[in-house]
Amino acid sequence: MGRLFWKLFLFIWLGQVAAVAGTGLFFSLEREHTRPAMTMEPPPPPGFHEHRLPPPEGERAGPPHRPPHGGKPPPGPVPLFPLIAGLVASLLCAAGVAWYFAKPIRHLRHAFATVAEGKLDTRVGSAMGGRRDELADLGQDFDRMAARLQTLIEGQKRLLHDVSHEMRSPLARLQAAIGLVRQQPGRLDDTLPRIEREGERMNGLIGELLTLSRLEAGVEMPVEKVDLGELLGGIVDDARFEGASRQVGIDFSATPDLFVQANPELLHRAIENVVRNGLRFSPTGGQLSIDARREGGTIRLHIADQGEGVPAAELEAIFTPFHRGQNVATGDGYGLGLAIARQVVSTVNGKIAAKLKSDGSPGLLIEIELPAAD
């Protein structure tokens, strides 16, 4: 039994004992007060003693007999059996109430200790039984917290594994290039571009990881009123230049008055990641559509490519770091662009989602919703 059980038990039981004792005392006094007093004989009428026979000889003369206690009957005995029954009943009731409140708290305390030991799959919902009160709600909150912690910890482990895998490949190629130069110094000019390229790849990967880590850690970034139309214009110009080598066209349309409260650098990187992802998946001679419009207090941005698309089962998974789907994109990539885009959009209370095209045509549609700034 825990300390809380005994505290609840003691407070409840003492309260019930006081109630039983007070009730018993009240009814005892009430019964004594309401019992009729023993009446005395009325005084004799005048001249009664003149015709009264003399008392028998040997009878002592004295004052008339008066009942004790001023004419009231003596108080009855204290009802011990009802008091004892009431005390026993209050004892059982106090124990039941204390156990009812202390048991779920004991389960929660044990669950917290188990989670602290690293067993993140611990849940207390089943131990609450059929309760429908605040303690049951607390148990459900604990289960959600434990599930969220388990997801985050597993995500961090998976991220660490993926990072080590991504870093291993350029490091291996870098070491191979250095070894080749040592064996054949005459090939230095041919090997230096490879070393430079692998170094740039590692630098880009580390930069993307730092950005993602800051976003997931909730680091505060300065925000300002951003003209989304102007920002999209710069991204579209870069995309047209990049897509020209594969004849990928850009169809861009935007309505006026597209302003949002966000960090301009992060928002630029998020949308650029989505656009570049569409370019990488677009076939040669394809078309990338970018449409932005304001609907009430929401700005909707649609980015659609004509690539192979993504299976429906992977529409959510593509926003996780280092996700590798069935369709492999062309060109270099770290698998972090869409994950960063989701984090940036969520920081401004926006939404981002991947969908299949409603008309059934090939390609992927990315929808971004941002709260408009007046």
Q: What is the DSSP string of 241-273?
A: HHHGGGT-EEEEEE-S--EEEE-HHHHHHHHHH
Which amino acid belongs to residue 336? L
Tell me the backbone φ, ψ of residue 298, rounded to 5 degrees: -130, 140
Give buried/exposed letters for 47-81 (b at 16+ CB in 10 A, else e).
eeeeeeeeeeeeeeeeeeeeeeeeeeeeeeeeeee
Question: Considering 165, 268, 302, 323, which one is annotated as catalytic?
Answer: 165
End-to-end CA distance of the chain: 60
> Locate tokens 């040997």: which residue?
58
Joined together, the tokens standing for residue 286 give 């394809």
CB atoms within 10 A of CB 245: 8
Chain centroid offset of residue 308 CA: 37
d(CA 307, CA 87): 81
Task: Give 250's strand partners.
Answer: 288
d(CA 215, CA 43): 105
343 and 215 in contact (C-beta within 8 Å)? yes
CB atoms within 10 A of CB 177: 21
Catalytic status, residue 165:
yes
Which residues are marked as active site? 165
